Structure 1
Amino acid sequence: MHAKVVVVGSLNMDLVARAQRLPRAGETLAGESFATVPGGKGANQAVAAARLGAAVAMIGNVGDDAYGQQLRQALLDEQIDCQGVAVCAGVSSGLALIVVDASSQNSIVIIPGGNGQLMPESVQVFDVLLQGAEVIICQLEVPAQTVAYTLERGRALGKTVILNPAPCTGPLPLNWYGAIDYLIPNESEAQALTGLPVTDLASAEAAASHLRSLGVKNVIVTLGAQGALFANAQGFKHFPAPVVQPVDTTAAGDTFVGGFAAALARGTEEGEAIAFGQRAAALSVTRAGAQPSIPYLAELQP
């Protein structure tokens, strides 16, 4: 069976400390708990798409360490095709050092490890996976040239191409935009991409308009508790967020992207796919951890 969703991206082991608040510069804080959790934006989105009903394949790298074995096994446990997950000799697996405070806000430092060695040739080797996909997802935790190659290849193959521009520190290369069907930033990422402040619906509309003017077909700005803003050639639509009590927001965005992609891959209309992704993300923030918080399709059935 061809994987209908192919994720080209990162696999990280998340080292998660919880404390009452985030430390200030130079400060040492007493923490409350620690956990080691499989993560990485690419792997999280692959797991979300798989749990939420898609056949999924992953293309990425891990290091030749115990974390790499655990990361690969976590995907295999979800029936994700891992033929494209390579082991890089002499390199650590990607790591994310995460501190979560009492209000569920987090601060994250990423060490690329094997993710930094995912080159365009790594993707070319598994072109058959891209050919068999309905939806291709990229993020920005692997080298830019690899993202650029995957976007262009996805466009050439006529696939639905999603870019979650995270982490984001500034504008994307201009020649990327025309290859993206759905650009899905959060508020801070939309602000970094455009240079415009994004704090509410009106400012999100301004940012989305700017991004569409650069050639992106569709923009979805995720706004946390304020929901999501969808922008396309017909205009804007606001999707209010389900109301929940958050515990940990770590993988909420990844859950949204994976759920949205899974819905698109099974032919769901894009507005319904956005609402489905929101419901999945809302459930994920009521649980701790990255991949452990991602819900299964059965939990979202009415």
Structure 2
Amino acid sequence: MTIFNLGSINADLVYRVPHLPQAGETLAARGFTRGLGGKGANMSVAAARAGARCVHIGAVGADGAWAVERLTEYGVDTRQIAVSNEATGHAIIAVDDAGENSIIIHPGANTALSNASLINALAEAQAGDFFLTQNETTLQAEGVRLAQSKGLRVAYAAAPFDAAAVQAVLPALDLLVLNEVEAAQLAEATGRPVSEMPVADIVVTLGSKGCRWYDTQHDVAKDYPSFKVEPVDTTGAGDTFTGYLIAGLDRGMPMEQAIRLASKAGALMVTRHGAADVIPDLKDVQDASF
């Protein structure tokens, strides 16, 4: 089967600084790197590296050819990535010696995808394929409705969290993935616990504690502990988990097996510095000894 991922593509511009800049301060960076990022790109790379066929639906500017090339190198089908008049989305990330950061995100081309491009991208989709999206692009609700009408399994990663955006797609979802804070925010916005949301499968990630799966059709909740590692960088770990989870489900794994695979991939990811460029492949995950 195929995973169609409507998601962001960003350039992560990371500056190493002695401390986070204060208002009005000019600060010399000690180092600089440019990497591939964006929650959408991260999830596409994770799904592809987990062995799934993943078609990325998104947009870059004329300055984003390198990002498309890198996604292709990582095994993602990039034929449905449009080139926009807007600049490629980017994040300016300052990281200090203590590991604290401040981030400015410019969405750029991520908000420039046309409805016609979305329709064209899903033209080859078949019933039983997956449609995945997050909250860093436009056309999420339109994509979810179109995917549902074609019989796709619809998954939503509720980040960056916006209660209205989640509620707009909630009735059409088959799978909802969110973290503990986002789950609490959704419960507050809707006035009911996550376990009572109208979604068959809900996975709440709990950071170092692991995750919880709600099987709402059978009124069952089950916790899965995390793999114990020494983290060095949590960037992209949640995206790696989600990409691997959906890839596992797409390959026919039962939810429990897919969660364990995704948890192991996320644990391995936090032992690496970076985002999309360092997401582990399936062999790395299977060979990990923890």
* TM-score after normalising by structure 2: 0.89
Give the aligned partner of residue 215 of structure 1: 198
Give the aligned partner of residue 249 of structure 1: 234
Percent identity, please: 38
Q: 1:249 to 1:18 in 2, by over 3 A?
A: farther
Give the aligned partner of residue 211 of structure 2: 228
- The structure 2 residue matched to 1:269, chosen from 227, 248, 254, is 254
Give the aligned partner of residue 270 of structure 2: 285
8 Å contact from structure 1 (residues 48, 294) kept in 2: yes
Q: CA deviation at 1:17?
A: 2.2
8 Å contact from structure 1 (residues 100, 106) kept in 2: yes
Give the aligned partner of residue 84 of structure 2: 88
8 Å contact from structure 2 (residues 122, 147) kept in 1: no
Q: 1:180 to 1:21 in 2, by over 3 A?
A: farther
Q: Aligned partners of 2:19, 2:264: CA distance in 1, in Å? A: 28
8 Å contact from structure 1 (residues 46, 80) kept in 2: yes
Matched AA of 1:226: K
SS at match of 1:121: helix
Give the aligned partner of residue 16 of structure 2: 18
SS at match of 2:78: strand
Structure 2: gaps spanning 5 or more residues? none
Q: Aligned partners of 1:238, 1:77: CA distance in 2, in Å? A: 35
Q: 1:173 to 1:42 in 2, by over 3 A?
A: closer
Q: How does 1:147-158 map to 2 (within 5 A)?
A: 147-158=140-151
* TM-score after normalising by structure 1: 0.86
Q: 1:188 to 1:300 in 2, by over 3 A?
A: same
Give the aligned partner of residue 48 of structure 1: 46
Q: Aligned partners of 2:286, 2:263: CA distance in 1, in Å? A: 14
Give the aligned partner of residue 72 of structure 2: 76
Give the aligned partner of residue 138 of structure 1: 133
Q: CA deviation at 1:26?
A: 5.5
Give the aligned partner of residue 6 of structure 2: 8
Q: Aligned partners of 2:124, 2:16: CA distance in 1, in Å? A: 38
Cα deviation code 1:197-225 (max 9, x no counterpart): xxxxxxxxxx9962343412221111111
Matched AA of 2:52: A
SS at match of 1:185: strand
Q: 1:245 to 1:45 in 2, by over 3 A?
A: same
Cα deviation code 1:225-270 (max 9, x no counterpart): 1111111223211111111111111111110011001101110011
Q: 1:77 to 1:173 in 2, by over 3 A?
A: closer
Cα deviation code 1:34-54 (max 9, x no counterpart): 210011111111011001111
Q: How does 1:160-179 map to 2 (within 5 A)?
A: 160-172=153-165, 174-179=167-172
8 Å contact from structure 2 (residues 45, 75) kept in 1: no
**Residue-pair matches, total:** 285
8 Å contact from structure 1 (residues 10, 142) kept in 2: yes
Q: 1:290 to 1:211 in 2, by over 3 A?
A: same
8 Å contact from structure 2 (residues 128, 151) kept in 1: no
Q: 1:134 to 1:173 in 2, by over 3 A?
A: closer
